Each structure stands twice: as structure tokens, then as C-alpha cells.
Amino acid sequence: MKEIITNSKTIYDGKILRLTVKDVIANGLPAKREIVEKSGAVAVVPVKDDGKIVMVRQYRVAVQEELLEIPAGLMDPGEEPLESAKRELKEETGYTAENWTQLTEYYPTAGFTNEYIHIYLAQGLTPGETDFDETEVIEVEEYTLDELLAMIKTGEIHDGKTATGIALARLEIK
């Protein structure tokens, strides 16, 4: 079942992704695969002592929509996933966390990208100052687990990493 790559050509090499076209032999026949190559990413389900989950709302130009998401971001080169998760939580929400649990790691869309996301649960939160990138406009909001699960079910939340993180956090939150 393995596809054999016979040629690979980079057609775009940007700041956060590279687009390559790979010629392959699939099931004995020639085919092309368009691949988005990205660095790893992290996402965090931050739970306050009162049980509220800290979320971020921001506009995503790729889908031309404002999304409610768990805090997330790209890993810096050479950065360990947990360190990246701690950095992203602080930057986007201002919070730091005492307790960290890895919930999962996965390929969100393996059909066309090698992106790999690590999702963490963060508890024992301490508030602080945010450190947004200069072009980021983020609103920090808080919801109960039940509110978020209902929003996933109704489609109000339709970001994959957020739905995955919230569903898995449900199993861990005590």
C-alpha cells in the first residue's frame, strides 16, 4: 500500500509552510500529491480552579470566520511541545499553569499535510499579562465544560483541535 515518491518539487516556501508537489507511484500507477509541509503545533485546554475553561476568539482569514478555539499555535524550531504549549498559553491568555497533562497528539488532516498537533490540559492556572503578536486580535473568554460540549454538538464550535481537546479534557477533568 505504500506509495513510492519518484520526484518532489517545492512550489512555495513561506514563513509557516512549504507546498510541494510529489510524483508518486500509487497502486502501480503514476499520480501527483500536493503536500502542505508545516512545523508542529500545540493546543491547550486551560481549566481554572472554578472549572471554567479559558478560550480564545479570533478571526481566521482562511475560513473568513471568527472562531472560538482553545489557545494554540505553531512550535518554534527546536522547541519541545510542552514548552511551546506553555508559551502559547501565556501569550494568548496571560495564564501560566502548574499542572500539565498531555491529552493526545495527532495528524488533523493527513490527506494533504504533515502537520502534527500536541494537545495538553493545563490546570492550576495563575493569571498574568498576555503577549499577543502585533497582528493578533484575540478576545479571551471563559465557558463551562457543559457549555463548550453543547457548542460542539450544535456546530457553534467547529474547529477540529478545539473539539478534540474539549472532548478529551472531559475525560480528565476531576
Residue 89 CB neighbours (<10 A) = 28
Do 29 and 77 reside in the same domain of the chain? no
Where in the sequence is the domain holding 149, given as residue range(s)?
39-172
Do 160 and 94 reside in the same domain of the chain? yes
pLDDT at 150: 97
Do 12 and 67 reside in the same domain of the chain? no
- The verdict on whether 37 is a catalytic residue reads no
One of 37, 91, 134, 172 is an active-site residue; which one? 134
Do 86 and 144 reside in the same domain of the chain? yes
To the nearest 10°, report the CA torsion of 81, 83, 88, 89.
Answer: 110
Do 11 and 70 reside in the same domain of the chain? no
The whole-number average pLDDT for the span 21-29 is 96
Do 28 and 108 reside in the same domain of the chain? no
CA 108, CA 103: separation in Å to the nearest integer? Answer: 15
CATH label of the domain that carries residue 95:
3.90.79.10
Do 20 and 88 reside in the same domain of the chain? no
Task: Kindly calculate the radius of gyration of the chain based on its CA atoms and give it in whole angstroms.
Answer: 18
Do 150 and 70 reside in the same domain of the chain? yes
Tens digit of each residue's pLDDT (9 = 90 or more) over 41-58: 999 999 999 999 999 999
pLDDT at 174: 65
User: Does residue 162 come out as left (phi exceeding 0), alpha (psi in the -120 to 50 range) or beta?
Assistant: alpha
Do 12 and 44 reside in the same domain of the chain? no
Do 11 and 55 reside in the same domain of the chain? no
Do 101 and 154 reside in the same domain of the chain? yes
CA 23, CA 156: separation in Å to the nearest integer? Answer: 39
Long-range CB contacts for residues 3-11, cutoff 8 Å, separation at least 24: 3/31, 3/33, 6/30
State the total domains in the chain: 2
Has residue 131 got a pLDDT over 90? no
Strand-pair partners of 122: 46, 100
Do 84 and 114 reside in the same domain of the chain? yes
